[in-house]
C-alpha cells in the first residue's frame, strides 16, 4: 500500500531549503519519480557505532504531512485453524486422497491484508452508477514474511496478537525515517554533543495503533484508495507512538516530545496574538475574514484540524530539563 500519486506539492521535508519531494511533484517542469535523500551527505548507518552528527551542518528538519504518504502494511489476528482432515478428489486416474499437513498453530496468528483483483462476478453492477474498484483487500490464507516479522517490532503490536480480529497498520519506512532523523541529530556516539531538531506535523492517533485508516481522495472527495490507481491521493494515519519508539531506539542522544494536538501547539506558540496583529490593521474585510477563518480551521478541535493533526519533536537529550515551546515549555527571555 503506497502513498500519494497526485501531482500536488504539499508533502515535503526540508533542511536548509533543500526539499524531499514525493513522486509526482514538479521540479522545473519535470515530474519527480524519486527524490528520497537530498541532504548534504548520505544518511547515517545505524550499524556504525562511530557515527557522529555533522558538526558543519546542524540539521533542522521539518516534516509536514510527509509520514502519512509512506507505504503501510496491514495485518489481522486470526484464530488458530482446526486440524485439517484428509480429503478425496477425483483425478483422471481415479480418486486420490490428499493429506494436508497436520502441523497447525494453537495460538492466534497474524495474517497480512493484501491487494488483489476484485472477482469478476462483483465488477458487473448494472444497477449501480459507480462500479466497484478494480482491486480489493484480501486476507492472506497463510503467513507471509511481513506478517512474521513486522508485528514483532513492538510490544504494542504483540499485545494485540492474542485477540482474534485485531487489526493493525505498520509502516516500516516511517520507523526507518524516524530513526534516521534521530541519528542525524545525535548519532550513536554519546561523547559527541548532539545538535539540531526535527519537527513532525501529521495526522493520526496520539498513542493507539492505527486501524482501517487507508483512504483515498480525488477531486477533494473521499473515494476508495484502490480505485483508479495512480490518480488517487492515497494516505494513512501516522503511528506516532511507533515514531517515538524508533527515534529513541536509534540514538541515546535524543529525547522526544509529544505528540500534542496541533491546536494547542499553535496557540502555545502565540498564534492568536499573531492573527490579531495581522487582522488588527487590515482594512479589507474579506482578507480579515479569510485570515481569521483559516486560523480557526487550524486550531478547531471539533470541525477543524486542531485535534486531528498532531505535532512531535525530536531534539537533543537534555536530561529532562527545559521542554520545547509548544510542548509544555515557555519562551525564556535573555
Determine, yes or no, domain membership for 113: yes
Mean pLDDT of 10-15: 34
Q: Do 259 and 205 contact (CB within 8 A), yes or no? A: no
Determine, yes or no, domain membership for 52: no
Determine, yes or no, domain membership for 239: no
Q: Helices H, strands E: what count in the chain?
A: 7, 17
> Maximum distance among all alpha carbons in the chain?
92
Distance of alpha carbon 176 from alpha carbon 153, whole angstroms = 12
Share of residues in the chain with pLDDT > 90 (%): 44
Determine, yes or no, domain membership for 159: yes
Distance of CA 252 to the CA centre of its chain: 23
| pLDDT at site 183 | 93
Q: Which of 23, 53, 24, 25 is nearest to 39 (CA)?
A: 53
| pLDDT at site 138 | 92
Q: Nearest 5 degrees, angle CA 231-CA 174-CA 184?
A: 125
**Band of residue 194 on the pLDDT scale cut at 50, 70, 90:** confident
DSSP codes joined into one string, 179-221: HHHHHHHH-S-TTSPP--EEEEEEES-SSSPP-S--EEEETTE
Q: Which of 168, 121, 177, 119 is nearest to 146 (CA)?
A: 168
Determine, yes or no, domain membership for 122: yes
Q: Which three cell numbers stand for residue 89?
A: 478428489
Determine, yes or no, domain membership for 93: no
As for how many domains the chain has, the answer is: 1
Determine, yes or no, domain membership for 255: no
Domain limits for position 147? 73-79+105-170
| pLDDT at site 17 | 33
| pLDDT at site 36 | 39
Dihedral sign of CA atoms 43, 48, 53, 57 in order: negative
Per-chain mean pLDDT for the chain: 79
| pLDDT at site 242 | 97
Amino acid at each position: 500500500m503506497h502513498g500519494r500519486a497526485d501531482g500536488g506539492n504539499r508533502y515535503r521535508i526540508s533542511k536548509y531549503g533543500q526539499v524531499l519531494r514525493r513522486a509526482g511533484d514538479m521540479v522545473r517542469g519535470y515530474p519527480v519519480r524519486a527524490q528520497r535523500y537530498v541532504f548534504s551527505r548520505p544518511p547515517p548507518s545505524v550499524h556504525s557505532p562511530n557515527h557522529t552528527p555533522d558538526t558543519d551542518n546542524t540539521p533542522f528538519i521539518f516534516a509536514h504531512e510527509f509520514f502519512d504518504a509512506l507505504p503501510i502494511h496491514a495485518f489481522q489476528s486470526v484464530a488458530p485453524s482446526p486440524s485439517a482432515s484428509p480429503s478425496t478428489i477425483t483425478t483422471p486416474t481415479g480418486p486420490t486422497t490428499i493429506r494436508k499437513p497436520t502441523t497447525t498453530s494453537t495460538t492466534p496468528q497474524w495474517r497480512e491484508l493484501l491487494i488483489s483483483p476484485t472477482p469478476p462476478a462483483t465488477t458487473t453492477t448494472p444497477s449501480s452508477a459507480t462500479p466497484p474498484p478494480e482491486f480489493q483487500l484480501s486476507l492472506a490464507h497463510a503467513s507471509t514474511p511481513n506478517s512474521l516479522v513486522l508485528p514483532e517490532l513492538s510490544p504494542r503490536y504483540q499485545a494485540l496478537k492474542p485477540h482474534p480480529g485485531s487489526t493493525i497498520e505498520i509502516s516500516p519506512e516511517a520507523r526507518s525515517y524516524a530513526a534516521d532523523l534521530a541519528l542525524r541529530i545525535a548519532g550513536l556516539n554519546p561523547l559527541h554533543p548532539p545538535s539540531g531538531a526535527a519537527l513532525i506535523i501529521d495526522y493520526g492517533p496520539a498513542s493507539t495503533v492505527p486501524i482501517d485508516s487507508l483512504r483515498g481522495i480525488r477531486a477533494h472527495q473521499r473515494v476508495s484508495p484502490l480505485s483508479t490507481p495512480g490518480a488517487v491521493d492515497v494516505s494513512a494515519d501516522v503511528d506516532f507512538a511507533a515514531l517515538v519508539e524508533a527515534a529513541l531506539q536509534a540514538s541515546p542522544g535524543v529525547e522526544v516530545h509529544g505528540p500534542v494536538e496541533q491546536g494547542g501547539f499553535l496557540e502555545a506558540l502565540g498564534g492568536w496574538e499573531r492573527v490579531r496583529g495581522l487582522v488588527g490593521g487590515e482594512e479589507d474585510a474579506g482578507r480579515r475574514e479569510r485570515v481569521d477563518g483559516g486560523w480557526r480551521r487550524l486550531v478547531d478541535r471539533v470541525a477543524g484540524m486542531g485535534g486531528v493533526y498532531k505535532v512531535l519533536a525530536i531534539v537533543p537529550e537534555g536530561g529532562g530539563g527545559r521542554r520545547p515551546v509548544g510542548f509544555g515549555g515557555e519562551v525564556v527571555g535573555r
